[in-house]
Amino acid sequence: MHLFLIILNFFFVTFTDKNESSKLSIGEQAILQREKWNIPIDSMDYSVSEDYITLLTQMGALICHTSRWMNGVTIQVKSDSLIQHIQQLPFVKHIQPTGHTAPLSHNHHRKKQFLSLDTTYGEMRAQIEQIKLTSLHQLGYHGQGISIAIIDGGFANIPNLTSFNATRNQILGTFSIYEDSTGIYGQEGSHGTACFSAIAAVKQNYIGAATSSYYYLIQSEEMATEMPKEADNLVRSLEIADSLGVNIASISLGYAKFDDTTWNYQYSQLDGQSLRASKAALIAARKGMLVVVAAGNEGNNDWKYISSPADADSIITVGAVDLQANIAPFSSIGPTADGRIKPDVCATGRNTHLISSNTDSIYLSSGTSFACPIIAGMAACLWSALPNENAMQIRQRIIQSSHLYATPNNVYGHGIPNAWNAYTGQTDIYQPTQNTIQYKTLTNRTILIHRNGHTYDILGNIVQ
């Protein structure tokens, strides 16, 4: 008996235009936000041509998903001859291979490094206090009214974990960009659960960064492989988040090196303009979304640099530090290929306290993946406190509050942000330590907050 292996190839097909079969593809909430921030609706808000999709399907291509921002479609085909015929179509501008199902000749899976350490219990308050987010929590700002899309590889066991009992009803929707037999809550998705816990878990001795927000969980990462197709999955995920009117995207994913090394990106492409995932992150920012992306865990490897979409402009790229504010050796560095500072800021990504998808208990793990949702949660709390500001204003407040804002570099970026300074607009540069002195007094029925030699009223104004 002979066994024949059918190899399926994936391609991204870019179209030349859109036509009358393209339809407006954003929802009511997204339209309201466009109006609020005076962001015009344009051709990117319309779907790719239904006529073009129909013709590709009739020719035998399987449509994986579309991209209205890139005006194209990811397809799966069985033969090279079909691609040659598609290339000749008058509405096809460009075709790029993005993956295949052939077995690898080497064991070189480059999935996101989890950098797991141990399951010892620790006091997680320090990772929130490092960015001074407890000050906003004390004022009652936990991200109310703000929606966050967590884009990852799946979210194992969330329906069954008691750590999410307090926030599970705030999950407004779940989406999977590819067909996964285990489902979005399947056991392969422990990474997404860990990232989500840094934002939304609540239990004894643990509270996430933004536990009053609304959440969308989007599965884009294909855990068994590492192909450029997954970057296009991410593009599609951002488009879904945009169509829903999401305020913040938290993305602990990045792409530079792949299972098949012929697909690898070059450092010169990390200019924020060359790669589709990076362009999509910028488009999302221009559409009014605050995009927060992990820098990557390649700092002590040969590659060492950030990946895509961390190179995008107008987003927040997050590096990792420990609780003593030392850069984590694995935290990917900048600059971008066009010379911009990266990362933008840092947060606790070494020995981060998270919730286990298996045991429902607190454990420690490391990676810029876990610093990213802490900053996303901080942004949600800040935006909740300042609802009339737009995404770029919130981004600027976070960056300007960081301890190296005056002297940024390509290891720490602008440093560790200070939620209190971001909220009050204070520009004094602080050094993040565990020795910050803060207490409150009640004087003549007025609450005063005393912090490192300064006294503030409840609105953050310096009174002494």
User: Quick one: 221 and 326 in the same domain?
Assistant: yes
User: Quick one: 342 and 243 in the same domain?
Assistant: yes
Buried-state track 323-346, b at ≥16 Cβ within 10 A, e below 16: bebebbebbbbbebbeebbbbbbb
Residue 109 within a domain: no
Instruction: Residue 51: give the domain boundaries.
Output: 9-100
User: Quick one: 256 and 360 in the same domain?
Assistant: yes
Q: Looking at residues 157-165, what average pLDDT do you find? A: 95
- Summarised one tens digit per residue, pLDDT across range 175-225 is 999 875 567 898 777 899 999 999 999 988 899 999 999 999 999 988 778
User: Quick one: 57 and 146 in the same domain?
Assistant: no
Q: Would you say the pTM of this structure is higher than 0.95?
A: no
Strands (DSSP E) found in 385-428: none
User: Quick one: 81 and 134 in the same domain?
Assistant: no
Residue 209 within a domain: yes
User: Edge-to-edge strand order for the sheet containing 362-365?
Assistant: 116-118, 362-365, 352-355
What is the tally of structural domains in the chain? 3
Residue 65 within a domain: yes
User: Quick one: 340 and 370 in the same domain?
Assistant: yes
Residue 105 within a domain: no
Residue whose entry in the numeric block shows the structure tokens 């899309």: 149
The helix/strand/coil state of 378 is: helix
The DSSP secondary structure of 144-190, one letter per residue, reads: TT-EEEEEES--TTGGG-GGGTTTGGGEEEEEESS--TT-TTSGGGH
Res 118 pLDDT > 70? no
User: Quick one: 418 and 444 in the same domain?
Assistant: no
- Summarised one tens digit per residue, pLDDT across range 235-279 is 999 999 999 999 999 999 999 999 889 999 999 999 999 999 999
Q: Count other C-beta atoms under 10 Å from residue 79's C-beta.
A: 12
238 and 312 in contact (C-beta within 8 Å)?
no
Provide φ and ψ at 220, rounded to 5°: -120, -30
Please give the radius of gyration of the chain, using alpha carbons only, rounded to the nearest integer: 22
User: Quick one: 354 and 453 in the same domain?
Assistant: no
CATH number at residue 397: 3.40.50.200
Half-sphere exposure of 309 (CA within 13 A, CB side): 32
User: Quick one: 123 and 91 in the same domain?
Assistant: no
Residue 108 within a domain: no
The amino acid at 164: F
User: Quick one: 161 and 86 in the same domain?
Assistant: no
Give the pLDDT of residue 360.
95
User: Quick one: 94 and 161 in the same domain?
Assistant: no
In eight-state DSSP terms, residue 269 is G
- Summarised one tens digit per residue, pLDDT across range 399-444 is 999 999 999 999 999 999 999 999 998 755 444 544 444 555 545 5
366 and 350 in contact (C-beta within 8 Å)?
yes
Q: Among positive and negative, which fits the CA dihedral 84, 88, 91, 92?
A: positive
- Give the Cα separation of 81 and 143 in Å (integer): 52
Residue 2 within a domain: no
Residue 3 within a domain: no
User: Edge-to-edge strand order for the sheet containing 438-443?
Assistant: 438-443, 446-451, 454-456
User: Quick one: 91 and 134 in the same domain?
Assistant: no
Boundary (domain end) residue, out of 66, 100, 134: 100
Closest CA to 156 of 200, 192, 203: 192
SS3 content of the chain, % helix, strand, coil (to 5): 30, 25, 50
Residue 16 within a domain: yes
